[in-house]
Amino acid sequence: MYNKVIIIGNLTRDVELRYLPSGSALATIGLASNRRFKKQDGTMGEEVCFVDVKLFGRSAEVANQYLHKGSKVLIEGRLTLESWSDQSGAKRSKHTITAESMQMLDSKSSGESMQNNAEQYGNNAQYNQPQTQNSGGNYGGGNTGAGNYTQNIPEINIDDEEIPF
């Protein structure tokens, strides 16, 4: 089985950057992805999916430098389940995305500090990522960097009105 997530959305808050004891950077972002659809009565409806994303290494530092609340970004990664006990002792859990690559989608003119031409950053510090107990594992194996694809993906015929962004 494969555990692969590709999502495009806008940041719901500014990037939260911290450094792990190993010295590797960890950034957490909130992402909102919209889906527009036609209801049975013919009117247009919209639903929003909110998800937290974790970026490691150079990707985390780049996100902290160039992204801010409202920035549009494409994230490629894997779905992970985080579990913990809250203050009252109740068990809690949530799904997050552990990013393997990030691509900034805002135009260069909209970002004041975007000064270089390279907008796509893979995660080169996978070995520094902490392993979580409840992680489903990386069934696909290895780093799935942007240049490593060997499979052709067929084009999908979609109207522009069906795309949520």
What pLDDT digit, counting tens, does each position of 38-51 carry? Answer: 999 989 999 999 99
Q: Which CATH class is domain 5-104?
A: mainly beta
Evaluate if residue 88 carries a pLDDT over 90.
yes
160 versus 121: the higher-pLDDT residue is 160
**What percentage of the chain reaches a pLDDT higher than 70?**
65
List Cα–Cα distances, 17 to 25, 61, 72, 130, 131, in angstroms. Answer: 7, 8, 18, 16, 19
Section 4-11 average pLDDT: 96
Q: pLDDT per residue over 116-137, tens digit each?
A: 433 445 544 443 444 444 444 4
Q: Is the pLDDT of residue 18 over 70?
A: yes
